[in-house]
Amino acid sequence: MKTMTYLSILIALFLCHCLYGQQIQGIATYKSQRKFDVQLDSTMTDAMQEQIRAMLKKQSEKEFTLEFTEGESEYKEVQKLDDDGVFESGGMKIVVAGSGGNDVYYKNLKENRYTNKTEVFGKEFLIKDALEARDWKLEKETKNIGEYTCFKATYNTTRTIMTAESDSERDPKDNTSMVEEEPITITAWYTPQIPLQHGPSEYDGLPGLILEVNDGSETILCSKLVLNPEKGISIKEPVKGKEVTEAEYRAILDAKMKEMNEQFEGDGRKKEGGNRMQIRIGG
């Protein structure tokens, strides 16, 4: 088993050496799937429960492209004409913040910075900040993704979990939302056969292109990879939107979510035979 592992490493290093000295660029297609923990009241009809779960499942499955050169990359969603992040069922509206298909995540590795163009509640933002320096732990475990030999890497961090609970039979002021932090381990699989430190979404910094990443809640997996396409790659940094730092954007988002929650709690309506729903996002 050790012999096979060492052989895999030697082959990967040889292929990596062959690529050095070449100008590498390409397009990678990724598919992502996020888990939603949804608890619905049994008084809801089966049809309504199924519709809500189907809406959330549709929103949790996305496709992205990562265009990259040696020093820059651009990660964006493959747009769907019928996906605006707003779903309605039985008088209930679900809005998924930051779900717009026009988002663009640009990275400049040479300058150690990124620009994340995103739209939230109808307003465009340009989040500009330094790339995060992650303390990746490189491990010996390997696996194949397509034709590429990939190596495992992990790092520990925390993530924000948001739980929202509503019950239309009780006083709206008693509806609750909670935000908490929990420790998680990020697991990535990268290939030294493509010796660039790019990756999907906010992930980067490994000695090879990241082809898969999992944070326990979301899995992002490369389904197609084209190197050095004939048309060539042209990457443009997004420029449209209000410029903010990551911290400023988080503060704006938190304030908006608090405002929406207060409006929701202040709605004095009560319904007979109401429904209860709890959604946990992020874990």
Nearest alpha-carbon partner for 252 in 162, 104, 118, 142: 118
What's the burial of 18, exposed, middle or buried (CB within 10 Å: 0-12/13-18/19+)?
Answer: exposed
pLDDT tens for the chain, 283 residues long, are: 444 444 444 444 444 444 445 689 999 999 998 876 666 666 667 777 777 777 777 777 899 999 999 999 999 999 875 555 555 555 555 555 545 568 999 999 999 999 999 998 889 999 999 999 999 999 999 999 999 999 999 999 987 766 555 555 545 455 555 567 889 999 999 999 999 999 999 999 999 999 999 998 899 999 999 999 999 899 999 999 999 999 999 888 888 877 776 665 555 444 444 555 555 555 5
Measured CA to CA, the distance from residue 170 to residue 267 in angstroms comes to 12
At 108 the three-state DSSP class reads strand
Nearest alpha-carbon partner for 98 in 81, 113, 83: 83
CA distances from 148 to 72, 212, 241, 266 (A): 22, 12, 38, 55
Centre a 10 Å sphere on the Cβ of residue 17 and count the other Cβ atoms it contains. 11
Measured CA to CA, the distance from residue 15 to residue 208 in angstroms comes to 12
Measured CA to CA, the distance from residue 137 to residue 20 in angstroms comes to 24
pLDDT of residue 229: 94
What's the burial of 134, exposed, middle or buried (CB within 10 Å: 0-12/13-18/19+)?
Answer: middle
pTM of the model: 0.76
At 263 the three-state DSSP class reads helix
Token digits of residue 13: 């290093």
Measured CA to CA, the distance from residue 104 to residue 1 in angstroms comes to 42
- Ranges of beta strands (E only) in the chain are 26-34, 36-40, 61-68, 72-77, 86-89, 92-95, 104-108, 113-120, 123-130, 137-145, 148-167, 176-191, 209-214, 218-227, 242-244, 276-281
DSSP letter at 70 equals S
